[in-house]
Chain A
Amino acid sequence: MALIELKTVSKIYTLGSQEVIAVKDFSLQLEKGEFCVLAGPSGSGKTTLLNLIGCLDQPSAGEVWLEGRNVATVPAKELAAIRLNKIGFIFQSYNLIPVLTAAENAEFTLMLQGMDKKVRREKVRRWFVDLGLEGLEERKPSDLSGGQQQRVAIARAMASDPAVILADEPTANLDSQTSEELLAVMQRLNEERGATFVFSSHDPLVIAHGKRVVRLVDGHLESDQCVS
């Protein structure tokens, strides 16, 4: 059973009388432990696809299966719980909560999971050590660099032990060196901990890091290659 399975998924937006086809008859299987990049130019449907995988959006047609469960059959109320427990999100513009400290941001999903305060403190502390964020726990996001913010976002996503981490253009706002560093972190987590990553990018340098490269053009699957 695949971790994630997209079965001829389409997403069609309507803009007034115009239909915008963001994703068309897209099928994909993702297994546990993958390090997969969705590559494609702007407007090719990467974000739309990640939203569908992340249960943030429903497909216009087709099915999204997560751990053998058809997401469409999951009651709306449970979707939040699935996102909380199964999926970690990393956003292009970090999207940390500005009023919380770095550590608190990382703790947030654990808090939502109802984890004991001490336990989550400790867990986050270890993640911060792991991600080279030591000493930044009490900083507010605005006092962190983009790379640091994005690493906090990784800590937030990783902390809740999700089945898959979805990252929409995680490096788009970072300079190339920081991007490299961040990708290295993600890669390490994938290799050492077996964390499943699905991230999008249009940057060839970033795409080159993917072990599996899924190319999108105009919402279609153009190619799906495994690099080893």
Chain B
Amino acid sequence: MPIFFRLKIFPAILALSALMTGFSLPVAAEDFNLAGLVRRVEQQYTGQSSISRVEMDVVTGHWERHLTMESWSLGRERFLIRILSPAKEKGVATLKVEREVWNFLPKVDRVIRIPPSMMGGAWMGSHITNDDLVKANHIDEDYHFTLLAETAEQWTIEGIPRPDAPVIWGKIIYQVRKEPLVPIQIEYYDEEGVLVRRILFDDVQTIGERTVPLRMTVLPLEKPDEKTVMHYRDLQFDVELSEDFFSLAELKRRR
């Protein structure tokens, strides 16, 4: 039995990051190249910052939770998210800087570093793990992509892990709409080739110059009744944030 619920969906954070940093990117037909596409998508985040308010609904067989959180991000290596409600958990916050993740627990007024062995634990009781916060952004390096199908509207891209890549999925299949360039669905297969997870994207909105799907639904397929829905509100891009902001002091700040 794993320490926390083991629901590995680190690419969800990729999507999360994508949502926060924008996903809209015109691709020139002549240099169309899948790895390049993913890489350019990844590079698109670099130097970008965001502030948002997120509503997260988690439904499991045992409980339903509705959380509101505020979050800040800088590039793909800095990330801070803090719970606003429910009141019981207000102030609980997570800070990610590069490969480290900390949690702040206001009730006991302590910061806890998540050890590498606990990265598989569920994050904030959702279907997202701590691991996702750390490894998500390396997906373009760890997978090899091929185009499975192309229609006038969308691409279907298959990602297969590189032989020595430290990944947990056996296969990832993206469905990406061409215009505007947004993900529609990502499917995750385990090492036996069984489809275990699906993430759906909708509520596509244009924020500033970017067009992004504001809602992401994570469906752990082995538990058909469970899901985590993240809905972005008040999403702002390219705000003033420095690296100093992503500090333990900021993590501990209560509002």
Q: Judge A-B direct contact (beta carbons within 8 Å).
A: no
Chain B residues packing against A (C-beta within 8 Å): none
Chain A residues packing against B (C-beta within 8 Å): none
